[in-house]
A and B are shown apart, each in its own frame.
Chain A
Amino acid sequence: MSLQNLLSGPPAIVAAGVDVFSEALRAQGADVHDVDWRPPGFGDPADLAALALDPRRAAANRTAVERLMAAGSVLVDVRPAREVIGLTDRTLLHSGPPLEWENASGPMRGALVGACLFEGWAADVEEAEILLATGAVTLDPCHHHRTVGPMAGVTSPSMWMWCLEDPVTGGQAFCNLNEGLGKVLRMGAFNEEVQARLRWMRDVLGPVLSKAVRGSIDAGNDPLDVKAVLAQMLQMGDEAHNRNRAGSLMALRELSPAIVASGAPSSDIADVLRFIGGNEHFFLNLGMPTAKLALDAARGIPGSTMLTVMSRNGTEFGIQTSGTGDRWFTGPANTPVGLFLGDYGPDDANPDIGDSAIMETYGIGGFAMAAAPAIVRFVGGTVPDALATTERMYQLTLAENPAMQIPIMGFRGSPTGIDVLKVARTGWLPQINTGMAGRVAGTGQVGAGLVQPPQQCFEQALAALAEEARTA
């Protein structure tokens, strides 16, 4: 052993702990860097040590990060959920960890009711509620089907889905089509306006997009590289969770020729282009399955303490880690803090909801806040706050993703791969940007803002990972 790095010359010192040693080193003129150390935010000391010393951890996390970063995402198809994921009759997918109707929040109930009406399983709200309350309709998390859905995430068999593929692993991930803003199903609204839009999406938008995507590929064009669009968005003021303006425009630009060439009636084409162009969150439903592909590629690596899922169902927040596979760690969802539409206020907001925190799990969204200073104003913050948020997230993550660069940080890669151990040690929770749904079913969107996961998800995950480490 040479230890060259140790004995080759006067070393710089990183000092964690009592000040007296740092002071003595400074007195010698040494290059001293103090750590602002404090006791971990949570976690049993023996658990923290077991994980810190788990010989599998470093390599496992390296593998997880490599797989996450290597994963690509191209748009290969648009098909109904019934075909894509074999979604059977009387089954609805929802966002977040598993959920019972009794515990479902207002917007989740609204969306589930709306989907029953849309599918024609119920003639009215009362009938839909009976179906749902008696278990006649099966509920299952999107995440159990390689699927993600924003807000309520409710996906029914007739809804069309983006089908994305990772060219590296051949993995697939799916997401329904974004309905736009305001009174929409994913925010818990289900009135006739919502139903009419869902029917139009089923009868016009879905088929046109399907023909466009397939037609373009059949004509010999490369499939749309969605990951590349994500990377470009960060250069254009989007963080790809709460701000998708540039991404939506780029998607419109990329899809337009094939939409026009789809052979659909020109009035339908006009409606489709107008719909996409008028929805600045249109791209979110392409970004989310892109993140999902990458995180699925990093699943199930024994010893890895990296998060693969952060997700909320409006009642609970749930996380999964690579080292603990499909196991959920849940806690009560927090209510976001932010700005409200119109007359709505904090009392109108539902607790945190949606699979869209997959963006932060992937290292963008709230983690790339510095790329989208406009977003920080949702909580009355400043541009320095945006930079500080991203800076802080680097201390929670395992790597910097060179594909997702943040211009204002000198094109530093976004902070990627949330490490449960680092979350515990720093006591800092992941920062998530999110929309806010109305607490009452049928309300729709009431605002947008920032939120953090409940700490207890991470407490449970830490204990479970430590248990795995001890028995490995």
Chain B
Amino acid sequence: MSPSAPSGGDAAVSVQLRSGVYADSVKLMQVSRRIGAREGVSAVLVAMATPLNLELAANMGLAPEEPTSPEQLLIAVRAADEGALAEALADVDAALAERERSTGTAAAIPHRTTGAGLDELSPESPALAIVSVPGQYAAAEAADAIAAGRSVLVFSDGVPVEQEVALKRAAHDAGVLVMGPDCGTAIVSGVALGFANVVRPGPVGLVAASGTGAQQVSCLLDMAGVGVSHVLGVGGRDLKEEVGGLATLDALAALDADPATERVLLVSKPPAPSVAAAVTEAAGKLSVPVRSAVLSPESPDLTAAVEALLADMGLDVPVWPSRPGPAEAAVPGAALKGLYSGGTLADEAMLLASPALGGIRSNIPLQPDLDLGTDLSAPGHLVVDFGDDALTVGRAHPMIDPTLRLEAIEALAASDEPAVLLLDVVLGYGADPDPAGALVPALTAARERRALPVVVALIGTEGDPQGWSRQADALAAAGCAVFSSNAAATRYALDLLGASA
């Protein structure tokens, strides 16, 4: 060590050269930066005494006066006073002596895209993606899955129809399936995705352009002891003209090739006639028998479709579980108030009730002149689908968030219009963990205020997390008549209205 005299001015300066000390240039730059940031230090260079560094030192007025060699470490500091200089030099020694500690492993980098997530999986093992991001961003996530050779369930709603078509074409070409959008259910090899029930494994495969329709049918098959192989929800628009049944056709072909699937049931809201014809033709060419549970005025009953399938299989139709509820006097001339969370179940109720009641107004009307508009408490027969896109903007699906339907029940309680209340309650994964718990106080309060028969279509299985019987008992104790079949529930409500078809 050979301290030099200050080179001028009133500042305290130290220029040292040390031999036998080596640190790499990055380390030395870090040391220089640390010392330079100290209070009272105006210039610092800690570097090997290479020609380049000596020139830098000279420019800073900190050149050593003695001969140097590049193997020496140059420590040159200018500080405001001797005290600051001594502290800075001590800190140089401390900085040079410091050791970095490191585990040598990277913190896990989160996957920001579906593609990155799928990349991590073994290509041989079965896998699929579920996408529930906002609809305007869903296409990119779904396209990742298709590009990775994986099928995808798009739960998001609000996906533009042309994007749906592009995704389904790409999926077809890639040999994978796009389920959804906007029909949030699937059961694949026993794994329930989105809104789906715990259904026993069995020989019947479902292709469903309807979420709650698929849930109704699969639950009845479970109750009949039959069970399902897979439930492939193809999206509520798949059988419309614009989409042309792209996913339905692929799903039918997939179930045809699946050894676990012996029969197929196709579940849908009313399809476009041209698409229905194409699907019927394609289904006829498959080796697996395909039965239709497609709703229409001519075939308004999903339960009947299940019963026909059981007959195909040579099985007896069971007595579908129900809780009769209290003996209620019929209220002839009263209005039917159907407050639904499932669109297909609402459709089914309207199709079944319309012949007896005449036109039923709705936010998803069977015909345009029956449009309810935004007045959910209008008088007369009406059926409201709280799961419709217009009522789920900015809030969760009514199977999760009952708020709007509870408000409608409260409004009905306050009204003096004679009425029969018809509800669906959908159990299963993804749904409210205790829907009866939310409904019972509102229904009890309503029935204390006024005469109001309540009929519930309880869609679920004993295996569901909520348990069909537990929920049914709770609802029955509150005075509801409870049915496992929506068609049966609707017919019971019509009986109460004195309007049996």
Contact = CB atoms under 8 A, between A and B. Distances in A.
Interface of A: 1-18, 20-21, 24-25, 27-28, 30, 33-40, 45-46, 48-49, 51-53, 55, 58, 181-182, 339-343, 345, 370, 374-375, 377-378, 380, 382-384, 387-388, 391-392, 394-395, 408, 421-422, 425-428, 447
A20 B150 CA distance: 22
B254 A33 contact: no
Contacts of B465: 27
Contacts of B30: 339, 377, 380
Interface in B128-169: 128-134, 136-137, 139-141, 143-145, 147, 149-151, 155-156, 160, 163, 166-167, 169
Contacts of B2: none
A17 B43 CA distance: 53
B134 to A, nearest CB: 7
7 contacts: A11-B191, A13-B191, A17-B155, A17-B156, A33-B121, A37-B114, A53-B143
A240 B40 CA distance: 39
A447 B47 CA distance: 13
A28 B56 contact: no
B141 A16 contact: yes
Interface in B371-428: 400
Contacts of A343: 36, 43-45, 56, 59-60
Best-surrounded residue of A14, A36, A58, A427 (most CB of chain B within 10 A): A14
B59 A36 contact: no
Contacts of A383: 100, 102, 104
B126 interface: yes
Given A20-B430, A58-B147, A14 B136 contact: no
A384 B102 contact: yes
B120 interface: yes
Contact of B188 (A7, A53, A345): A7
A340 B29 contact: yes
Contact of B60 (A2, A37, A342, A421): A342
Contacts of A11: 126-128, 188-189, 191
A13 B104 contact: no
A13 B140 contact: no
B27 A377 contact: yes
Contact of A3 (B120, B125, B145, B151): B151
B239 to A, nearest CB: 18
A16 B192 contact: no
Nearest to A395: B116
B107 interface: yes
Given A7-B188, A14-B117, A14-B118, 10 more contacts: A2-B175, A5-B149, A10-B191, A13-B127, A16-B133, A24-B429, A48-B140, A49-B136, A49-B137, A395-B109
B194 interface: yes
A377 B26 contact: yes
7 pairs of A and B residues whose beta carbons are closest in the complex: A17-B132, A387-B106, A36-B110, A342-B56, A24-B429, A52-B140, A3-B254
A28 B191 contact: yes
Contacts of A21: 130, 132, 155, 193-194, 429-430
A11 to B, nearest CB: 4
B257 interface: yes
Contact of A384 (B105, B126, B133, B257): B105
Interface string B219-252: 0000000000010000000000000000000100
B148 to A, nearest CB: 9
B111 A2 contact: no
Nearest to B113: A425
A3 B151 CA distance: 8
Interface residues of B, number: 91
Contact of A1 (B32, B116, B254): B254
A52 B114 CA distance: 12
A3 B257 contact: yes
A277 to B, nearest CB: 13
A395 B134 CA distance: 21
A343 B100 CA distance: 25
A40 B103 CA distance: 32
Contacts of A16: 113-114, 117, 129-133, 141
B33 A340 contact: yes
B429 A27 contact: yes
A458 to B, nearest CB: 15
A342 B57 contact: yes
B24 A374 contact: yes
B258 A7 contact: yes
Nearest to A182: B52
Contact of A391 (B29, B106, B129): B106
B400 A20 contact: yes
Nearest to B194: A21
Contacts of B189: 7-11
Best-surrounded residue of A27, A33, A38 (most CB of chain B within 10 A): A33
B176 interface: yes
A182 to B, nearest CB: 5
A17 B131 contact: yes
B334 interface: no
A425 B194 CA distance: 24
Contacts of A380: 30
Contacts of B250: 1, 3
B15 to A, nearest CB: 13
B99 interface: no
Contacts of A17: 130-133, 155-156
B139 A49 contact: yes
B253 interface: yes
B150 A5 contact: yes
Contacts of B139: 48-49, 52-53
A96 to B, nearest CB: 26
A378 B26 contact: yes
Contacts of A39: 134, 137
